[in-house]
């Protein structure tokens, strides 16, 4: 049986989970950005899903950081929160609106955040515990 989390570990877990929540919201809401001259410069009205790059980089970072500073078994929490926020808020957004746009960018966001996060999770959970030798 493992020892309970310290107060510092609990605080870090709450902060990392809140980070995953905020990143999921920001990545979801800024996914429809286009080069249309409103927010970004006008360059042919092309879609620019920069939040996918953010998801690819930050989701595995949150998972690995949770495994390091809290405990590897808790590293699934930020990934689950991110997925639930993107899917839950995307399907039933504020006022019941559909926030998750229905095109290739939505698939790219979900895959770009969940797949690297799951790979980081599996890599962290697949390592033997410290002091245990593989035979």
Give me the residue label for tokens 């042919």.
Answer: 44
Lowest mean pLDDT among 62-76, 91-105, 119-133: 119-133
pLDDT recorded at residue 96: 74
105-127 per-position pLDDT tens digit: 999 999 999 999 999 999 877 76
Contact 93, 29 (CB under 8 A): no
Element at 7 (helix H, strand E): helix 7-29
pLDDT recorded at residue 1: 53
Q: Please give the torsion angle defined by the CA atoms of residues 82, 111, 39 and 61, in that order, rounded to the nearest 10 degrees.
A: 50
Helix 76-91 with 7-29: angle, nearest 10 deg:
30
132 — pLDDT class (breaks 50, 70, 90): very low
Helix 7-29 with 104-125: angle, nearest 10 deg:
160
Who has greater pLDDT, 126 or 86? 86
7-54 per-position pLDDT tens digit: 999 999 999 999 999 999 999 999 988 887 777 778 887 888 899 999
Q: What is the pTM of this model?
A: 0.85
pLDDT recorded at residue 46: 80
Strand extents, DSSP E, the chain = 34-36, 42-47
Q: If we measure between CA atoms, which residue out of 7, 3, 120, 99 comes closest to residue 55?
A: 120
């Amino acid at each position: 049986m493992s020892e309970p989390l310290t107060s510092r570990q609990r605080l870090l877990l709450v902060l990392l989970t809140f980070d995953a929540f905020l990143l999921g919201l920001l990545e979801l809401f800024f996914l429809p950005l286009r080069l249309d001259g409103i927010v970004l410069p006008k360059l042919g009205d092309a879609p620019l899903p920069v939040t996918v790059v953010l998801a690819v980089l930050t989701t595995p970072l949150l998972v690995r950081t949770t495994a390091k500073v809290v405990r590897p078994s808790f590293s699934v929490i930020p990934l689950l929160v991110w997925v639930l926020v993107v899917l839950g808020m995307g399907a039933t957004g504020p006022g019941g609106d559909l926030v998750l746009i229905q095109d290739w960018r939505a698939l790219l966001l979900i895959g770009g955040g969940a797949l690297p996060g799951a790979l980081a999770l599996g890599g962290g959970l697949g390592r033997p515990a410290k002091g245990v030798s593989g035979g």
